[in-house]
Chains A and B, each alone.
Chain A
């Protein structure tokens, strides 16, 4: 099996996500970039699961877990962003330094 394609794809996806996470100032975009990274990890899980080929299909099962957690996380994340927007009329992530020392 040609594992190199999905893995390369996942790496590309992860890098894009990481770049977006670090460079975007819009909180929604940051969240989306985060989802990209999660997707990359999920692809990796499925790929390695297929390579290992165990009977329990651990890779696929964990991919489902990650998706479920990702969905929940997006829910929480969007809620926080909305609240911040409501309070500050901005989704610029630099404005939200509430956890500063």
Chain B
């Protein structure tokens, strides 16, 4: 097999093999597991970069394609490929896993056990990356479900005091959603003019109008439930704050950084192109839920007393912007969504790293107990938290801005089909509320900064002299800080990658 055909398979399987290898490290040499996991994750990241570099920008479209029979009796193929929409998320998943491996050198939550922890992390990596390159519904579903198990154990074993509850809630809730999604996949399989699970083929059927409108409505509902719970959209979001609050740092980073994006990616890759008529019908609903999530997430953030829970709730709002972009069914909106996904992955991943380190240094995440003055007690940590919080509130010049403003741009002029259906005014109103949401977002982040960073530090922290950011942490965070700052002035890093494929995929909506 050539490199072109095997690249993706190699890259995705490497962490899986690595997971086995890490698990087999003898117990007496447990700490070697950390080195091994780091090497494997570096290898994975290097392979993903090789794919990125080798991608033919002139040709666009699906590349590194491999399509062989898998369970031929049921028409299930092992069809993997990558395009401009998957690439940023694919590479980001490897980057974040590598940074998590670095971070784990420094700190793994109780009860330690690095072999099990890192093995699960690598398993998670395979699932996450697999979702973004699967072009067969069953394959996609397998990777989708593969993610649940390691995350369940990560939360359930290494989590906080309420970990069992959070882990079960996360697992069952997501599983419930994916059941509906699976049913919808099967329905699509049986309804398609030619029985197939192939996403590319189904997209062509969708574009050709092969699915009846009534069928699309039900199939879309099923997929919608599965994806919306994962995103999570309001009102399916309540597993998220619990899971994040309890999860270990690495779990939170990967959960926020990549797992949530699987839901939004599913909308872009499957739900919209395969079922375009239903997408037009559901778009106003998705848009309304998205804007509710923006406002609602921000208001709930104002009420949080736990730093990590605040960050978790902020994800609800940020994913609201992503979903608002998707709901517009325009290329600008989808570009905004992908930009928002990557930016949120970078920024919120960083915020979770920071909250993990704050917990490590100050032994609390309660904002009132932190008591302010972090810029005095641990200036570097405080500076990074301030920078990332400002990036998260969408300041231009940093990564968080483009996803928000482009989503608003798209919402002002939604897809022509939506305009024909009479939803123009609704989307413009949604846009105004989305813009108001940015103020609320700024409000809770600034308030958090005031209570955590500014002011005179309490005497106990002055006496305790918590250690500032260490070298391992710098190593794990530097790429995220660089991306946070670089994506602001250089937005083409994302949009130039996605633009052509997004335009191609969205032609179904008259864009």
A touches B (Cβ under 8 A): no
List chain A positions with a Cβ less than 8 A from chain B: none
Binding site for A on B (CB under 8 A): none
